[in-house]
Amino acid sequence: MAALKRFRLPTSPVEGSLEGRAFVFSGFAVAVLAVVMYGQDYVVPAIGLGATAIGHVVSYRERAQKRGKRRQVLLACLVFATLAYFLADSVGAFFGGVLPQANFAILLVAVTSFDLKTRRNCYSSLWISLAILYLAAVYAWDYPFGILVALWSICLAGFWAASHLQRMDARLGVPVPAVAVALGGALLLGVAAFVFIPQPSIDPNGPVLVSLPNYVGFKGELENPALPLVQLTGDPSGATGSLDLHFRGRLGDAPVMYVRTGAPAYWRGLVF
């Protein structure tokens, strides 16, 4: 018992900062916007964003009240319902099979938003929104996605500042010169990295042109990602002999590669 008490996490204080909670919700909104823009998923993100807004209001008003058993049971049932939705959409595509991981995370944030009492709860919501942003990054092949990443980072920094100042009963504010120097330094480092790091010579938004002679032989294979998304097939290492397109969302009709050769044939390359 003494060993268990030693490794127990300390009690997290009730988060009373309205600004901090607003930053948490804003971080989730940025992640949802990324899913809408790059994943072309609209229904679940819209429902999840509206439900999360209501949940944040309820959590802030009842932040000092004790958790009721009935609400805890209801929220637990809703969490299991979202898990059932994820399994059904991942395996059988009963709801379209489009971005089941992102939709599951969005619904999970929406359900748990009604029970955000402590600072640890707010952190959990932020980290889930970061996972949603990562799932949207799978489809982001342009530099403007960095704006969404920067906005989410600002929300995280804002939550840190708001929650810290709330503990000292201080007004929300930051030293302007220090913040300006930090942002200016980050901007200069980013520009320097953009200038000096070699850029790919191939535009990812257009098809690749490959010229091959007639006698070249090629055997395609399935390349597993270094950081795979959540999926239910394959062995524990993530290796699989098939590619489930449900985990990658909708595929467009734009060609991704032209093969110029004198021998007409079907070419199968590496699949990521």
CA atoms within 13 A on the CB side of 60: 15
Whole-model pTM: value is 0.68
Question: Rounded to an integer, what distance in angstroms lies between the CA atom of residue 72 and that of residue 106?
Answer: 19
pLDDT by residue, tens only, the chain of 272 residues: 555 555 566 777 778 888 889 999 999 999 999 999 888 888 899 999 999 999 999 999 988 888 888 888 999 999 999 999 888 888 777 877 778 888 999 999 999 999 988 888 999 999 999 999 998 888 887 788 888 999 999 899 888 888 776 555 556 666 677 767 877 887 888 788 878 877 666 555 555 556 655 555 555 555 555 555 555 455 555 555 665 555 555 566 666 667 666 655 555 554 44
8 Å CB contact between 164 and 17:
no
Residue 4 CB partners (closer than 8 Å, separation 6+): none
